[in-house]
Structure 1
């Protein structure tokens, strides 16, 4: 026999976890990480805090998981020239990190500190994801003859994005001026790539 009155469907497992993540992502988008609370997320998801804590031990872990709902995967540029590819990828990162979603990411990075396990869950901070994207750019340059195969090294490939990230994380800039991006490419990245090739020939 059905009960009369308004009853709420009891969600479990994946359905409940997705509802919580969607609620947390909405809270992040509307109010940022600083205002994210378990109470607000629970109310928005139509559940209780215990259901959240069973899946995510604290606010930071929930924030990182929710941010993954907001992130998108972008294919690396292919302009036909290494300098232009690197500049375009840096400019994309610069725009993202200075956007509202980027502000959420910066807050999460600051809160995570040295928690490598949490940082690795952030798409933009995943070592494998980021390295693969930059190795793709450098690999194309090697195939075109712009760079020597010896330059195809993970630390070389990612040095430009590491330097840009430092502008946001360590220096706290709201957005990096374009001349800073050009300086990173022309004064650090390209000379390093060329040096690897010259060292191999020497």
Structure 2
């Protein structure tokens, strides 16, 4: 059995409070960016005192790093046995990353990563997980002869992943919920459009 996390005082930490704080931190960062990201603002949003935050994290850099680690998940490589279904899964995961609960934080991370060295690793991990999963999907499809051996992995993935990102970035804030509701249908339509020009003929 793993040990219960403790703060500097040795008292057991409350996972519910930790979750509330990291959720609030992700929301504040997503809404305000790094320059307006403060311990005071996060504490108010989470409904806790600043002391509760400082017992857990020494500064706002460490708090944001913890929030991003807790709230932003990487992209998983899911092998369904079908290139179409694999690519749809990939597209849907990318959409959820940027349209879900912590989507604004994920988008803001792309802007502020260069300014905040403590969070650069989180962006790199997100990007790397996407690239590795995407390459694996296309290479499996080529091995199964679902795609022509000369299919450009880079171009195909630029079309799918780039299409998803453009769709997300072009969405006005007031339409985010509407776009999120139709995300699954969009992912399928995008993948079908891309595959129509790349799939090998029987």
TM-score by length of 1: 0.62
More deviation, 96-105/160-169? 96-105
Unaligned runs of 5+ in 1: 1-7, 12-20
Q: In structure 2, how many angstroms separate the alpha carbons of the residues matched to 1:116 and 1:138?
A: 34
Q: Deviations over 1:54-105 (max 9, x none)?
A: xx4xxxx963563123233453222221112111222233334322122332
Q: In structure 2, how many angstroms separate the alpha carbons of the residues matched to 1:68 and 1:149?
A: 38
Specify the alignment match of 2:46 in structure 1: none
Q: In structure 1, how many angstroms separate the alpha carbons of the residues matched to 2:104 and 2:191?
A: 24
Q: Does 1:76 align with 2:77?
A: yes
SS, match of residue 193 in structure 1: coil
Specify the alignment match of 1:52 in structure 2: 59
Specify the alignment match of 1:86 in structure 2: 87
Structure showing greater Rg: 1
Contact 1:134/1:158 (<8 A) preserved: no
When the two chains are superposed, the root-mean-square deviation of aligned CA atoms in Å is: 3.9
Q: In structure 1, how many angstroms separate the alpha carbons of the residues matched to 2:106 and 2:52?
A: 22
Q: Does 1:146 align with 2:146?
A: yes
For these two proteins, the number of residue pairs brought into alignment is 169
Deviation, 1:9, is 4.3
Deviation, 1:23, is 8.3
After TM superposition, where is structure 1 displaced by more than 6 Å over at least 4 residues in a row? Answer: 113-117
Relative to structure 1, the CA distance from residue 129 to residue 144 in structure 2 (aligned partners, 3 Å threshold; closer, same or farther) is same
Relative to structure 1, the CA distance from residue 125 to residue 74 in structure 2 (aligned partners, 3 Å threshold; closer, same or farther) is closer
Relative to structure 1, the CA distance from residue 69 to residue 9 in structure 2 (aligned partners, 3 Å threshold; closer, same or farther) is closer
Q: In structure 2, how many angstroms separate the alpha carbons of the residues matched to 1:155 and 1:115?
A: 30
Relative to structure 1, the CA distance from residue 75 to residue 125 in structure 2 (aligned partners, 3 Å threshold; closer, same or farther) is closer
Q: Does 1:43 align with 2:51?
A: yes
Relative to structure 1, the CA distance from residue 81 to residue 116 in structure 2 (aligned partners, 3 Å threshold; closer, same or farther) is farther
TM-score by length of 2: 0.62
Unaligned runs of 5+ in 2: 1-6, 11-17, 44-49
Specify the alignment match of 2:191 in structure 1: 185
